[in-house]
Each structure stands twice: as C-alpha cells, then as structure tokens.
Amino acid sequence: MSIFVDGNSRVVVQGITGRDGSFHTRQMMAYGTRVVAGVTPGKGGRDFKGPDGRVVPVFDTVAEAVSETAADCSVVYVPPAFAAGAIMEAADAGVGFIVCVTEGIPVLDMTRAHALARDRGSRVLGPNCPGIICPDKTTLGIIPGRIVARGPVGLISRSGTLTYEAVHHLTRAGLGQTTCVGIGGDPLVGTNFVDCLAAFAEDPETEAVVLIGEIGGTAEQEAARWVSANLDIPVVGFIAGRTAPPGTRMGHAGAIISGSSGTAAEKTQALEDNGIKVAKRPVEISALVGESLGC
C-alpha cells in the first residue's frame, strides 16, 4: 500500500497554466496520476492539454474545481507571493491533502496557512518540497518517476535531490518503495517525520523506513524517540550537513544550526541512541536497508 495518496487520488493542480505547473502536470499525467482539474484565477473555462491528447478542465477557483470534479488532493505550483493563499483556498474548499512545491514563501504567511489548514482538517505536505510518489500508482509533485520502483521500503526526506540520490541507490539494489515522501526544507512544514512514520506504521506493505534528515531544528530527534516507542520495523537514517558551519543557512531556509542546537552530530546521536542505524554516505543507505531486511 501507499501512504496519504494512492492511484485513486483525484488531483487538482493549482497554477496549472504556469511554466512549472504545466510542465509537471504533464509529467504527473504521463506517470499515471489522475489529474482531474486545474486552477488558475482568470483562466476558468479553458482546457489544459495533457499528454496523449488528454485534456484537463481549468477553473477559476478550487471550490469550483472540487464541486465539479470531486478532487480530493491538490498540488500547488504557485509563486511565493500567492502560495500561502493557494494553500488556504484549497483547505477552505475541503481538499484533504495539499502538496506545496513552492520555495521561498514568507514564514509569517505560512504560520497563518498552517493554522487554517489545521482548523479545516487538511494535511499540508511542504512547502518547499518535491512531493510524494507511490511507485506504479501516482505522483504528486516533481519527483522523477523513472528512479523509483515498487517494493517494501518507505522513504521520508527533508530534501529533494538528496532523496533522488538515495532512491536511485535503493532501486538499483532491488529495494523498491511503497511511498517516497519529501516533507520539505522549510522551517515550518505541514507534515513532519513523525506524521509519515505513523502512516508507514499502519501500512502492512512497508517493511523498512529510510529517514533522510539534515541540520536545523529537532524533527529528527523527535522522530527517533517516536520510532523507539512505536515502530516495530527497521529504520535507517542519514543526516546531511556534518560539515555545515553554525549560524549559516545552508540553502534550505530550515537548514541552520542555531547556537549549538540542530547539529548533524546531535541528530545522528539521537537516531543511534534509539536503535536506528545511520549511514555515513548516501550509498550506504541501501546496504543498511538490505541488511535490516535480511536480503
């Protein structure tokens, strides 16, 4: 099985007519995602041309898209100035799962968007995330479909391309995935490691989990404690940023060591203290997963 989404998920794309939105919508449709609607204010009534001659109706608002097409998930490819508004619009329209790819959204905007999404019972993935892919079923976001394969491993990561690196090794080692989730590199994300771990714990097909973290914050430490208290299947970790200097933002807005907290050493220690094997190099991740699964 997969977590959060599956082949039946009905997806509305916010920002479908934009440069990134149109490109990735076609990629998602080619992979098999059921894109049922698009939204761009002012462009309602048009048709978006997908691959193989398929068309997707475009609406002015998410509410119309939901009432006309029964969309239950959305992917946001809207520029930073309007992205928090797009998330709130989707939550208000009753969309239960909202993936926000956009990077660079003001943090104060996100405090309001997260608060509203919580009140409406919507789960936000991201922002500043590559999305979620369930091999052979569906993909929401920008994770390249050709690097994944179906199998028993669940993967959660704060990064984009580092996720691809790890997935690539897993797939080549014959270790396919149930779901790969990029939770995002921002300081305030809607779905954290623990949310994903809890979902994987409920999934009978997930036999091992890979957790890819980085410097900044305490999400990995909380995940480590949760794993030790709640999870029976093996978890393999990796933490990026061992060589990062304190007090400097390393690309991701959330990747910053504040004072002495949020270091890679502290996170690695927390994972190991809770029985999680930590890979020193990305290439070791698949070997540790293979070992833990006895293959």
Partner 1 sequence: MNLHEYQAKELFRAVGMAVNPGEVARDPAAVQALTEQYGGSAVVKAQVHSGGRGKAGGVRLARSPEEAGGHARAILGMTIGGLTVREVLVSPIEDIATEAYVGVLVDRESQCPVFMVSAEGGVDIEDVAAANPEAIHRLRIDPRYGLLPHQAYRLATRLYDDPDLARQGARVISQLYAAFVDNGASMAEINPLISTTGGRVKAIDAKVSIDDNELFRRPAAAALRDPFSESPADRQAREAGLSFVKLDGNVGCCVNGAGLAMATMDLVKYYGGEPANFLDIGGSSNPDKVVAALDIITADPGVKVILFNIFGGITRCDDVANGIVEAVGRISIEVPLVIRLTGTNEAPAREILDGAGLAAVTSMDEVVERAVRLAG
Alpha helices in the chain (DSSP H): 19-31, 62-69, 80-92, 107-120, 161-172, 193-201, 219-230, 264-273, 282-292
Closer to partner 1 at the Cβ: 66 or 255?
255
Residue number, 66 or 100, with CB nearest to partner 1:
100
Q: Residue 53 or residue 146: which is nearer to partner 1 going by CB?
A: 146
Kindly tell me which of 50 and 131 has the beta carbon lying closer to partner 1. Answer: 131
Kindly state the smallest distance separating residue 116's Cβ from partner 1, in Å. 7
Residues within the interface to partner 1 (CB under 8 A): 20, 24, 80-81, 103-108, 110-112, 114-116, 130, 142-144, 147, 157-165, 168, 185, 187-188, 212, 214-215, 217-218, 238, 240-245, 248-255, 259, 264, 280-283
> How near is the Cβ of 44 to partner 1 at its closest, in Å?
26
Nearer to partner 1, 207 or 214 (CB): 214
CA–CA distance, 210 with 238 (Å, rounded to integer): 8
Question: Nearest distance from residue 61's CB to partner 1, in Å?
Answer: 21
The count of other CB atoms within 10 Å of the CB of residue 62 is: 26
User: In whole angstroms, how close is the CB of 69 to partner 1 at the nearest point?
Assistant: 27
What's the 3-state SS for 245-292? Answer: CCCCCCCCCCCCCECCECCHHHHHHHHHHCCCEECCCHHHHHHHHHHH
Contacts of residue 105, defined as CB under 8 A and 6 or more positions apart, other chains included, come to 80, 83, 84, 127, 128, 186
Q: What are phi and psi of 21, to 5 degrees?
A: -60, -45
Does the active-site annotation cover 169?
no
- Minimal distance in Å, beta carbon 164 to partner 1? 5
Burial class for 45, CB neighbours closer than 10 Å (0-12, 13-18, 19+) = exposed
Catalytic residue numbers, as ranges:
252
